[in-house]
Structure 1
């Protein structure tokens, strides 16, 4: 049975409408803050492809107004479920922008858990977008990783593990300095941009953007977007897998 849904989000961004447009309507821009890999053919009626965890979905661009509006709708599944994303850009003074997102469509039988994940996740990804635009203007990621871990029901256990990876002993809040300390990865200093207990939507170092998320059905997820060349991506992914296995053994 299909279940209709709608999620509305709004965020103020320290970026121009042109910078926001580049980040939400081009493949390299989206790949710099969102999960998976996106390919976007510019123009109304063209195709959006999104690949994640070995699968690819396609969508159709339904509105294309550069610097103002970008809308697309996924192809319906056999059960009639689909998702639509409607981004509205409004320029403000001093090079700032307000971005509004309406995420809608129809979910399937597991709709309650999916809807809960979307309500939380949409806002967190917009926070991650804000961190990207603030810390990496004019740059696009060279790679991005989404590494799922186990399902962990205890929020506090997840929170403490995330703090441990970031070298934080006390409270975690916007502006908290961190020192990434994960076996197999180079140590890196950075700062927390946003927190949303028990997730940390955005941590920025000099060359990477991270998300630590307690997500869909209590799955622990780490995401990394790297902005420098020469990184051994396979070894980086394996280091995160090993950390997840050990932290939540």
Structure 2
């Protein structure tokens, strides 16, 4: 999304999605720790003015994002602030009612700057949200309110990204599939079966039957001369935790046999 500028020097970007959920259900998904963890990254959230929201981007806590809640207006709006290279950042979450029990979820990042020196960084944030919002929408459509067991496994390959993606997706029988296709990895490979929701050049989002009901996002993205291959899983239901533990071990072993480890 393009950066919007205001007369008082504020700059902002936003992203939004309409979801098939009543406002109170959508609010629980974006304003509670278990809700956010079910479609984004593991998150702890103390829902009150002055409370903290902590997003854990890697298991060891080295990339935690810690925000302090400045405005808490359930079930419609909250604002959390962080301090980054760009200075003080405000992130506002809103849930607005639509017709027929549907809702609009919107996130806005706002900062002050005299020029466009940080615009690319925040445009990157805005472009990243649509993927997670697709996961949010599917979560709310199929498993609203269900607790989630999530994991990811990541490896590294040499560029170009299209070759790395072929080496990643090919042995899993996932290369060249399209939205709507039923897919299943072969016996002896990392476990996955389900229906492809979206398919891109080097990306898949799959609604899962195996290893448990849930979602899997597989992608290859180039950064700093390397290609990072990631399988991110969100599993839901009573057996999700045990299924996630078993599947995580299998996926990590499968990736480690074929690609360099990242420690993530």
Contact 1:5 1:115 in 2 (8 A): no
Partners of 1:20 and 1:131 lie apart in 2 by 12
CA contact (8 A) 1:89 1:97 kept: yes
2:165/2:219 contact within 8 Å kept: no
1:197 to 187, 201, 206: 201
* Superposed displacement of residue 165, structure 1: 6.4
Q: How far, CA to CA, are the matches of 1:151 and 1:117 in structure 2?
A: 23
Q: TM-score, normalised by structure 2?
A: 0.75
Q: Is the 8 A contact 1:162 1:212 kept in 2?
A: no
Partner residue of 2:125 out of 112, 115, 118: 118
User: Aligned equivalents of 2:46 and 2:171: distance in 1?
Assistant: 38
Written as runs of structure 1 = structure 2, the 5 A alignment for 1:169-184 is: 170-173=176-179, 175-181=180-186, 183=188
Name the counterpart of 2:229: 220
Q: TM-score, normalised by structure 1?
A: 0.78
* Unaligned ranges ≥5, structure 1: none
How do 1:26-65 residues align onto structure 2 when only pairs under 5 Å count? 26-35=32-41, 37-53=42-58, 54-55=60-61, 56-65=64-73
In the TM superposition, residue 81 of structure 1 has moved relative to its aligned partner by: 4.5
In the alignment, does 2:66 pair up with 1:87? Answer: no
Q: C-alpha separation between the residues in 2 aligned to 1:83 and 1:158? A: 36
* C-alpha RMSD of the superposition: 3.2
Contact 1:117 / 1:216 at 8 angstroms: preserved in 2? no
Tell me, which stretches of 5 or more residues in structure 2 are unaligned?
A: 1-9
Q: What is the count of residue pairs matched by the alignment?
A: 237
Aligned match of 2:251: 240
1:130 aligns with 2:130: no
What CA distance in whole angstroms lies between the structure 2 residues aligned with 1:210 and 1:243?
16
Larger Rg: 2
1:4-23 Cα deviation digits (max 9, x unpaired): 97432121111111111011
Q: CA separation of 1:151/1:114 partners in 2, compared to 1, >3 Å: closer, same or farther? A: farther
